[in-house]
Amino acid sequence: MNKIVKKQVLNDQVTLMEVEAPRIARKGEPGQFIILRVNEQGERIPLTVAEYNREAGTITIIFQIVGATTMELNELNEGDYILDVAGPLGVASETEGIKRAAVIGGGLGCAIAYPQAKKLHSLGAHVDMIAGFRNKDLIILEDEMRNASSRLFVMTDDGSNGNKGFVTDKLKELLESGERYDVVIAIGPLIMMKFVAATTKPYNQKTVVSMNPIMIDGTGMCGGCRLTVDGKVKFACVDGPDFDGHLVDFDEAIRRAGMYKEQETRAREEHCRLMQQAQ
């Protein structure tokens, strides 16, 4: 069992938790993830680790409250325990030799993009970070991202923070001004990553995306996280989660991501009904 040592509400949809997991904290690197179960009856869900504290033996997870399991997880508080946490899983993000990088996060994807920017920045790389949110009330980790980058650009769809536009608008502006990077790293909704890759392709700009489809075991056995990359079947849990953004079949990935929406909605509604009965 893994004790929750810190819980912080980042906005009305997103929660941060710091959890005791000394073995994972000792070995984990940016880009890797864990799979957890809240309780014996719970499903297994993957969450990317936002921070590893090797000295304290803790990891930080940031999750959006969208389904039954994340609702159950959010009901836990400091001092409570998560039943089990497995990891680190997946292949760590490549950082060696990178001198200039653009790191792009969309919404909750900023929690995954942040540790990558932080690692690159700590290695001396120039990091331009672009973070996108629907509005200013949903902005998270702004100070942390600013400290982990050379330049931070925070965009909002509605312009409520004074910078209206999508992350691709700022990225295209930088590329058109002559900026070039060893790599552009994009993490967020599938549609966002698809358009980031489309934006960088005419500039022959290397682009890496982080694919986080449905997973069950995290070891490649269930096949739930399969996707097509360069015409070949890959598994995000063992081959990724990072892939060449210009080779990913995003249309297929988007179709697969929508396959279980009906079941997810039913599970969420059932959890809400049980909580109301318990009150």
* Per-residue confidence in pLDDT tens, the chain, 279 aa: 999 999 999 988 899 999 999 999 999 998 899 999 999 988 888 998 989 999 999 999 999 998 888 999 999 999 999 999 999 999 999 999 999 999 999 999 998 899 999 999 999 999 999 999 999 999 999 999 999 999 999 999 999 999 999 999 999 999 999 999 999 999 999 999 999 999 999 999 999 999 987 787 777 888 888 999 999 999 998 999 999 999 999 999 999 887 766 666 665 566 566 556 655
At 112, which CATH number?
A: 3.40.50.80
Residues 107 and 211 in one domain: yes
Q: What is the pLDDT of residue 276?
A: 60
How many domains, in total, are found in the chain?
A: 2
- Does some domain include residue 19? yes
Q: Give yes or no for a contact between 85 and 217, defined as CB atoms under 8 angstroms apart.
A: no
Q: What is the pLDDT of residue 245?
A: 97
Residues 44 and 180 in one domain: no
Residues 71 and 168 in one domain: no
Q: What is the pLDDT of residue 42?
A: 86
Task: Domain of residue 237: give its range.
Answer: 100-257
Q: What is the pLDDT of residue 214?
A: 79
The neighbour count for residue 272, using CB atoms within 10 Å, is 12
**Phi and psi at residue 264, in whole multiples of 5°?**
-65, -40
Tokens 């990724």, residue located? 240
- Does some domain include residue 271? no
Q: What is the pLDDT of residue 181?
A: 98
**Phi and psi at residue 232, in whole multiples of 5°?**
-115, 150
Residues 150 and 172 in one domain: yes
Residues 244 and 220 in one domain: yes
**Model confidence, pTM:** 0.88
Residues 144 and 197 in one domain: yes
Residues 81 and 112 in one domain: no
Residues 69 and 111 in one domain: no
Q: What is the largest CA-CA distance in the chain?
A: 59
Residues 191 and 236 in one domain: yes
- Does some domain include residue 240? yes
